[in-house]
């Protein structure tokens, strides 16, 4: 999806979830929508869809929400599902209520399973989403796994081999990079996104993952000071970091 370059202001605010276009017109008539601190009585003019312009706007004294083209990182807690419709706690509930009414809607960039925590990207930008999850993108994703049994010592070789076949699949896994952290902890970097891939890789070497956390996607690391359930909007530099190293990683061992 390519974002338009400009949009009527009433439509932009309605698309951000503030209310209907009619309600936006009412807010404007009451002087609640301001540009550079001056009340805007008419909001049917087209405005540039840039972060610089959006920074000049406020509603009822508050900066407006991030404009379309939003990418954020969230520290997903254990027990939360990456889905719009399943029962239980959903990752979308961790976002501000108004953000759930945005058009285009915000989606997760791939998924983490319910019991996996850590770095989850979310975006309303379909083109960005596909660029990250496209199978040929080979963006490295690093996970920390806590294991039930001590490592045997041969896992690195098995994971790097490019021949490991997961149960029920027909194509072997691409080589993955493996680091031992302690007898029952390891880091694994994969460049694919198969179903429950890391858990199934350890099952293939007769171990069991007790806890799994994603700590980086490409060159973007999960910040230590981001609390479970909290999120941060990414700037352009952080978005670009996601793709750093992706080309070097394709068809290799990581």
74 binds ligand URA (CB under 6 A): no
CA dist 63 and 44 (Å) reads 19
Asked if 142 interacts with ligand URA (CB under 6 A), we say: no
Nearest to 231 by CA among 123, 84, 81: 123
Query: CA-to-CA distance for 52 and 128, rounded, in angstroms?
Result: 21
Build a one-symbol-per-residue string for 114-133: x at contacts with ligand URA by CB under 6 A, - elsewhere: --x-----------------
Measured from the CB atom, is 21 or 141 closer to ligand URA?
A: 141
Q: Is 210 in the site for ligand URA (CB under 6 A)?
A: no
108 within 8 A of 93, measured Cβ to Cβ:
no
User: With CB under 6 A as the contact rule, which of the stretches 129-137, 146-154, 192-200, 230-238 interacts with ligand URA?
Assistant: 192-200
Q: Are 242 and 217 in contact (CB under 8 A)?
A: yes
Instruction: Choose, from 60, 65, 103, 113, the residue flagged as catalytic.
Output: 113
Question: Is residue 235 annotated as part of the catalytic site, yes or no?
Answer: no
> What does the angle CA 138 – CA 144 – CA 150 come to, to the nearest 5 degrees?
125
Q: Using the rule CB under 6 A, is 75 a contact of ligand URA?
A: no
Residues in the chain: 254
Among all residues, which ones are annotated catalytic? 113
The contact set with ligand URA (CB under 6 A) reads 112-113, 116, 196-199, 212
């Amino acid at each position: 999806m390519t974002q338009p370059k400009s949009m009527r202001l009433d439509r932009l605010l309605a698309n951000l979830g503030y209310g209907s276009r009619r309600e936006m017109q009412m807010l404007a008539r009451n002087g609640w929508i301001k540009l550079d601190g001056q009340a805007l009585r008419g909001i049917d003019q087209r405005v540039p869809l840039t972060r610089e312009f959006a920074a000049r706007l406020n509603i009822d004294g508050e900066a407006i929400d991030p404009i379309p083209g939003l990418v954020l990182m969230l520290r997903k807690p254990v027990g939360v599902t990456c889905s719009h419709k399943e029962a239980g706690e959903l990752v979308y509930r961790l976002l501000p209520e108004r953000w759930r009414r945005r058009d285009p809607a915000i989606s997760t960039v791939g998924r983490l399973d319910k019991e996996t925590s850590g770095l989850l990207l979310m975006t309303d930008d379909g083109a960005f989403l596909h660029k990250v999850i496209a199978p040929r993108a080979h963006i490295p994703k690093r996970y920390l796994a806590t294991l039930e049994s001590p490592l045997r010592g041969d896992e690195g070789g098995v994971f790097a081999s490019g021949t490991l076949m997961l149960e029920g699949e027909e194509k072997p896994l691409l080589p993955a990079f493996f680091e031992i952290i302690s007898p029952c902890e390891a880091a694994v970097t994969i460049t694919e996104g198969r179903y429950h891939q890391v858990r199934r890789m350890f099952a293939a070497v007769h171990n069991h993952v007790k806890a799994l956390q994603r700590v980086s996607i490409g060159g973007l690391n999960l910040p230590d000071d981001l609390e479970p359930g909290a999120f941060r909007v990414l700037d352009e530099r952080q978005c670009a970091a996601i793709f750093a190293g992706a080309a070097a990683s394709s068809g290799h061992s990581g």
